[in-house]
């Protein structure tokens, strides 16, 4: 598969955010909806049957830190990113670690996205360009590039799982991207721990200031061993970051096309940024697959 990006701009910008619940200065992005009756989301140290510790100790957000979840419950919290985006195009990514113990399909979690300050919401599993679920060793459990699935946060995880997704936002002006996390239980009583989430991150790439038209290609996508990035301008350097915005490969390399060995990277979504000799920066994304077929 060949992804080609037609970029009508002079540069790209990146934004990242990360919440591990220990850094209180960042918790302004998290809002537990107190208007929802019997909302059981809590930030704290878990002391439950299965949920005995957070991913990054000691704190996480959990459907009650002490008690099993009740029946007939719909609990909600929000995660807001901000940036005053005035975009020609915009790619956004979301990632988080989670544990699940619920009645499969009957009791479940749902994550939705809003780009109009909460007026409308869309399930992030529907119509996205890509999402994947990985175990704690980054082995791929489930993946979709174009899915109509609406429920994956259900049943029981085998330890901590990583969820990661990427999607495109059309040309528009927006000052935030909002995510809504909902846990739903039916009218059957269960003695289960529910849903626990930790280390939430978002990553955005937005393009602005139209000046030049430049074509950039990355292939193969998904990749297993190597990616090739081809630009109409001579490449002077590049950087690859994971879904949490952490730099994993960075180098000054005067090649075009640019060939990068990604064999040692865990499977998942990655963002690349290249710099040309005239100072332009161009960004995009690719998927590292563990599939060797």
What radius of gyration do the chain's Cα atoms show? 20
* CA distances to 33, 35, 77, 189 from 38, in Å: 10, 9, 13, 15
Angle at 178 between CA 167 and CA 287, to 5 degrees: 20
Residue 278: what pLDDT? 79
Torsion of CA 114, 93, 110, 222, to 10 degrees: 130
How many other C-beta atoms lie within 10 A of the C-beta of residue 168? 12
Residue 90: what pLDDT? 61
Q: Which residues of 16-37 are buried (b: 16+ CB within 10 A; e: fewer)?
A: bbbbbbeeeeeeebbebeeeee
User: Tens of pLDDT along 62-75?
Assistant: 999 999 999 999 99
Which CATH entry fits the domain spanning 16-208: 1.10.10.10, 2.60.120.200, 1.10.3720.10, 1.10.287.130?
Answer: 2.60.120.200
Distance of CA 270 to the CA centre of its chain: 10
CB 128 within 8 A of CB 203: no
Instruction: List the helix and strand counts (H, then E) for the chain.
Output: 0, 22
Residue 190: what pLDDT? 92
**Reported CATH class of domain 3-8+209-288:** mainly beta
CB 46 within 8 A of CB 24: no
Whole-angstrom Cα distance, residue 52 to residue 126?
A: 32
Residue 145: what pLDDT? 65
* Long-range contacts (CB closer than 8 Å, 24 or more residues apart) made by 119-123: 121/180, 123/150
Pick out the chain residues at pLDDT < 70: 1-16, 82-91, 127-129, 145-149, 170-175, 204-215, 243-245, 254, 290-293
Closest CA to 214 of 284, 288, 144: 284
Residue spans of the domains in the chain: they are: 3-8+209-288, 16-208
Residue 205: what pLDDT? 57
User: Tens of pLDDT along 143-173?
Assistant: 886 556 689 999 999 999 999 888 777 655 5
């Amino acid at each position: 598969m060949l992804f080609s990006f037609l970029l009508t701009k002079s540069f790209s910008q990146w934004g990242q955010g990360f919440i591990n619940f220990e850094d209180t200065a960042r918790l302004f992005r998290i809002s537990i909806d107190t208007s929802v009756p019997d909302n059981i989301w809590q930030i704290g140290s878990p002391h439950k049957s299965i949920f005995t510790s957070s991913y990054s100790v000691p704190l996480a957000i959990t459907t009650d830190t002490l008690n099993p979840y009740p029946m007939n419950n719909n609990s909600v919290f929000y995660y807001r990113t901000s940036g005053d985006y005035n975009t020609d195009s915009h790619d956004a990514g979301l990632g988080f670690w989670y544990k699940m113990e619920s009645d499969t399909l009957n009791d479940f979690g749902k994550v939705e996205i809003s780009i109009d300050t909460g007026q409308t919401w869309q399930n992030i599993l529907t119509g996205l360009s890509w999402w994947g679920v990985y175990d704690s060793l980054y082995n791929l459990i489930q993946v979709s590039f174009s899915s109509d699935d609406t429920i994956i946060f259900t049943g029981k995880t085998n330890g901590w799982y990583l969820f990661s997704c990427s999607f495109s936002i059309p040309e528009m002006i927006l000052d935030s991207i909002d995510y809504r996390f909902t846990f739903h239980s039916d009218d059957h009583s269960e003695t289960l721990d529910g849903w626990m989430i930790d280390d939430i991150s978002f990553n955005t790439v937005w393009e602005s200031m139209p000046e030049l038209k430049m074509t950039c290609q990355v292939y193969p996508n998904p990749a297993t061993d190597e990616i090739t990035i081809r630009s109409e301008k001579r490449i002077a350097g590049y950087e690859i970051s994971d879904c949490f915005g952490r730099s994993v490969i960075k180098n000054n390399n005067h090649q075009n096309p640019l060939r990068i060995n990604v064999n040692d990277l865990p499977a998942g979504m990655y963002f690349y940024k290249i710099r040309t000799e005239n100072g332009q920066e161009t960004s995009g994304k690719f998927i590292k697959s563990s599939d060797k077929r």
